[in-house]
C-alpha cells in the first residue's frame, strides 16, 4: 500500500508540472492585458509598456514561466498584481471557506442520498422509489442561481430565519450548503438507487439470503458496501469540482471562497494569482483522488 501511495505521489509531480504549463499558457492566450487593465482606459502605450516592464510581463514567455516555477519551488507563489498581496495569503484566506462549504454540501448530499437511494433501490417501483426519482429529477434540473435566490427570498427576506449573506455562524452555512448540495444529493440518490437495484439482483446476494442471513445484514454488509462504490467515485469528482470554486453559490451568498477569488483574478488578468489558484487546487484534487482510491481499496478488498 505504501509503495502504491508513493508511486501515485511521484506521478502527481508530473501532473502538477503539466497543470502549471497549461495554466500558464491558457492565461497568456486569453485576450486581455493586465497592465492595460490596471491602468484603465486613459493609458497610453508608453505607460502600458512601463507597467508591463514593472510587472515582468515584457520578458519572453518561457522566462516568465521559469521565474514563476522557480519561485513556486522555493515556496513563493508570488504577489497579486491586482490586490498587491501575496498570492499564498489570498489563497489561504479563501481555501478554508471553500473547504467548509464543500464539506457541508457533500455531507448534506450524502445524508440525503444514501438512505433515500438505498430505500428506493430496495423498494423498486414503490411510492418511495417514485418520490426519490422525482427528487432526483427536480434536484438535478434546478439551477443553483434560482435555488439560491429562492432560498434567500423565503428564509432570509420573508421569514427572517437565516442571514442572507456572509459567514461567521452555522446559520450562514445552511442556505449555501443546500444550494450547492441539493443537485449533488439528487445525482447521488440516482447513483445509489441504481447501484442498489443492480447489486441486490446479484447471485451472491441470493446466496446470502439462502444461507439465512438477516435482510438487514444482507443489505448493510453485502449490498450497501457494493452499491456505494459509484457514489464514492462521484463524491471524489464533485469534491474536486467544488474545491475549484462553486462560483455561483459563492457569489449569491457572498461566501468568501476560492471561486470568487478566481473570477476576480481572471477578470483582472492577474496571471500569477490564477496560476497559483490552479496549482493549489490541482494539488488538492490530486490528493483527493489519491484518498478516493485509498478509500476504494478499503471498501472493496478485491482492489487491494
Partner 1 sequence: MKRLLTLVLTFAICLSMLAGCMSGGASTPPPAAGDEVVFTYARAEDIQNWDPLNNNNIVNGWAYNLIYDFLVINNYDGTYSPSLATEWSPSADGLTWTFKLRDDVTFQNGQKLTSDDVKTTFDRVIEDKSLLRASNFTSFESISCPDDYTVEFHLSSPSGVMLMVLSTFPVCSGEQWREKGTDMFKENIGTGPWKFVSWDPGQQIVFERAESYWGECTSNCDRIIYKNITEDTTRVSGLRTGELDFIDSVPADQKELLSGEGFVMDSTLSMDQLLVGFRCVDSVFADFNVRQALNHAIDRQALVESIMQGGRAASWPVGKGVNGFDESSPVPEYNVELAKEYLEKSGYQGETINLIGPIGNYPRIDEILQAVTSMLMDAGFAVKLEPLEGAAFQQRRQEGKYDVYITGCSMAGGDPGTNITQRWKGDSLNSGYKNEELNALIDRSNEESDPAKRTQYLREAMAFSWENLAPWTTILQMDYNCAYKEGVSGVVIRGDKYVFARDVVKN
Q: Which stretches of the chain bind partner 1, using CB under 8 A?
A: 30-33, 36-44, 47, 50-51, 53-54, 82-85, 90, 93, 96-97, 99-100, 103-104, 106-107, 110, 149, 152-153, 156-157, 160, 163-170, 173, 220-221, 224-225, 228, 251-254, 256, 260-261, 264, 267-269, 295, 298-299
Taking the C-alpha atoms of residue 263 and residue 274, their distance in angstroms, rounded to an integer, is 9
**Least separation in angstroms between CB 189 and partner 1:** 17
Judged by beta carbon, residue 129 or residue 252, the one nearer partner 1 is 252
Instruction: Report the chain's C-alpha Rg in angstroms.
Output: 24
- What is the smallest separation between the CB atom of 240 and partner 1, expressed in angstroms? 16
For partner 1, the closer CB: 170 or 210: 170
Residue number, 7 or 221, with CB nearest to partner 1: 221
Q: How far is the CB of 244 from partner 1 (least distance, A)?
A: 17
Nearer to partner 1, 15 or 213 (CB): 213
- Cβ partners under 8 Å of residue 233, min gap 6: 292
Nearer to partner 1 among residue 36 and residue 290 (C-beta): 36
> Please, is 105 exposed, middle or buried when counting C-beta atoms within 10 Å of its C-beta (0-12, 13-18, 19+)?
buried
Report yes or no: 229 and 300 within 8 Å, Cβ to Cβ.
yes
Cβ neighbours for 164, distance < 8 A, ≥ 6 positions apart: 152, 156, 157, 253
Distance of CA 34 to the CA centre of its chain: 28
For residue 26, the SS3 value is: helix
Q: How far is the CB of 286 from partner 1 (least distance, A)?
A: 19
* Residue 79 DSSP SS3: strand
| Residue 24 or 239 with smaller CB distance to partner 1 | 239
Grouping H, G, I as helix, E, B as strand and the rest as coil, residue 211 is coil
Residue among 44 and 62 whose Cβ is closer to partner 1:
44
Q: Is 77 exposed, middle or buried (0-12, 13-18, 19+ CB in 10 A)?
A: buried
Closest distance to partner 1 from the beta carbon of 241 (Å)? 17
Q: Which is nearer to partner 1, 69 or 230 (CB)?
A: 230
Give the separation between CA 51 and CA 249, rounded to whole angstroms.
Answer: 35
> Least distance to partner 1 from the beta carbon of 135, Å?
21
CB of 113 to partner 1, least distance (A): 13
Cα–Cα distance list, 111 to 48, 77, 130, 132, 189 (Å): 54, 38, 19, 14, 10
Rounded Cα gap, residues 293 and 210, in angstroms: 33
Distance CA 285, CA 152 (A): 31
For residue 52, the minimal CB distance to partner 1 (Å) is 9
Amino acid at each position: 500500500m505504501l509503495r502504491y501511495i508513493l508511486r501515485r505521489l511521484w506521478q502527481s509531480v508530473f501532473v502538477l508540472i503539466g497543470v502549471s504549463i497549461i495554466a500558464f499558457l491558457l492565461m497568456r492566450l486569453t485576450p486581455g492585458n493586465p497592465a492595460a487593465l490596471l491602468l484603465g482606459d486613459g493609458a497610453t502605450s508608453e505607460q502600458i509598456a512601463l507597467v508591463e516592464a514593472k510587472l515582468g510581463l515584457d520578458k519572453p514567455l518561457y522566462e516568465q514561466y521559469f521565474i514563476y516555477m522557480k519561485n513556486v519551488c522555493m515556496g513563493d507563489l508570488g504577489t497579486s498584481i491586482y490586490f498587491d498581496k501575496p498570492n499564498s495569503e489570498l489563497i489561504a484566506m479563501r481555501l478554508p471557506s471553500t473547504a467548509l462549504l464543500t464539506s457541508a454540501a457533500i455531507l448534506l448530499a450524502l445524508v440525503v442520498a444514501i438512505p433515500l437511494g438505498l430505500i428506493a433501490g430496495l423498494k423498486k417501483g414503490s411510492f418511495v422509489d417514485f418520490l426519490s426519482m422525482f427528487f432526483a429529477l427536480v434536484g438535478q434540473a434546478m439551477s443553483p442561481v434560482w435555488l439560491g435566490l429562492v432560498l434567500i427570498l423565503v428564509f432570509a427576506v420573508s421569514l427572517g430565519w437565516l442571514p442572507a449573506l456572509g459567514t461567521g455562524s452555522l446559520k450562514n452555512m445552511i442556505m449555501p450548503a443546500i444550494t450547492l448540495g441539493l443537485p449533488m444529493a439528487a445525482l447521488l440518490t440516482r447513483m445509489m438507487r441504481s447501484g442498489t437495484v443492480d447489486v441486490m439482483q446479484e447471485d451472491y446476494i441470493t446466496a446470502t439470503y439462502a444461507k439465512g442471513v438477516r435482510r438487514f445484514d444482507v443489505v448493510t454488509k453485502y449490498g450497501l458496501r457494493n452499491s456505494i462504490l459509484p457514489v464514492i467515485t462521484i463524491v471524489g469528482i464533485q469534491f474536486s469540482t467544488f474545491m475549484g470554486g462553486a462560483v455561483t453559490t459563492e457569489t449569491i451568498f457572498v461566501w468568501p471562497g476560492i471561486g470568487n477569488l478566481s473570477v476576480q483574478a481572471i477578470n483582472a488578468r492577474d496571471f500569477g494569482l490564477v496560476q497559483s489558484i490552479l496549482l493549489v487546487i490541482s494539488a488538492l484534487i490530486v490528493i483527493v483522488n489519491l484518498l478516493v482510491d485509498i478509500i476504494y481499496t478499503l471498501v472493496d478488498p478485491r482492489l487491494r
